[in-house]
């Protein structure tokens, strides 16, 4: 990852600002399988409201992201909601994933295919992996995100070999994006 990526995301999260509430589809997606307690890692979750929602629901949440501004936003949003989240500033293309075992790992809107085996390894027994990423079909309506950030159609389940897939759908969503949604569990 270039330093430019961190700067780009810092700029983006600065412009979004603390307290902005856009409800992540992750929250609804994983709800039927979310444990009442345990350790949750939100991968590339800087700036997202999902981490705060999970902390409000009783999980011990860690957000890992390269953007220090996004991570500050996550902490500030958590404080506004009277909960806490841990944050880890990390370049996921260069640094190891924060050590598990994690009861839940979530990823939204960040595609790094080589991270999947590590995420699976770091799940606890019975641990849940929940993913939301746009697919190439999204290009029919929008040129962003660009192709490198999009899944192939039907690809997501192939990235979680050995896990039990509990839920997988690919469709146009209320947010206007064509997304793959997946929840899988270690057996």
Q: What are the residues binding ligand SAM (CB under 6 A)?
A: 1, 5, 9, 24, 44-48, 65-67, 70, 90-93, 108-110
Closer Cβ to ligand SAM, 99 or 125, answer by number: 99
Q: Ramachandran region of residue 3, left (φ > 0), alpha (ψ -120 to 50) or beta?
A: alpha
Nearer to ligand SAM by C-beta: 109 or 137?
109
Minimum distance of ligand SAM from residue 171's CB (angstroms): 18
Give the residue among 127, 139, 121, 135 at the shortest CA–CA distance from 168.
135
* Residue closer to ligand SAM (CB basis): 1 or 80: 1
CB of 126 to ligand SAM, least distance (A): 24
| Whether 127 contacts 66, CB under 8 Å | no
C-alpha–C-alpha distance, residues 43 and 60, integer Å: 14
Is there a contact between 76 and 14 (Cβ–Cβ < 8 Å)? no
Give min distance, CB of 90 to ligand SAM, in A. Answer: 6
Residue 158 Cβ vs ligand SAM, minimum distance, rounded to whole Å: 22
């Amino acid at each position: 990852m270039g330093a430019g990526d961190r700067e780009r995301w810092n700029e983006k999260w600065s412009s979004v600002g603390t307290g902005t509430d856009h409800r992540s589809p992750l929250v609804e997606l994983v709800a039927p399988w979310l444990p009442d307690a345990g350790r949750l890692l939100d991968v590339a979750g800087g700036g997202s409201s999902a981490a705060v929602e999970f902390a409000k629901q009783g999980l011990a949440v860690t957000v890992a992201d390269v953007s220090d501004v996004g991570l500050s936003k996550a902490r500030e949003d958590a404080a506004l909601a009277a909960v806490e989240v841990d944050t880890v500033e990390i370049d996921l293309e260069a640094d190891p994933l924060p050590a598990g075992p994690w009861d839940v790992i979530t990823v939204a809107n960040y595609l790094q295919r080589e991270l999947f085996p590590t995420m699976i390894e770091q799940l606890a027994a019975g641990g849940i992996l929940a993913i939301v990423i746009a697919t190439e079909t999204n290009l029919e309506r929008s040129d962003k995100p660009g192709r490198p950030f999009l899944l192939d159609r039907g690809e997501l389940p192939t990235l979680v070999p050995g896990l039990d897939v509990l839920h997988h759908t690919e469709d146009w969503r209320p947010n206007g994006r064509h997304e793959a949604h997946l929840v899988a569990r270690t057996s």
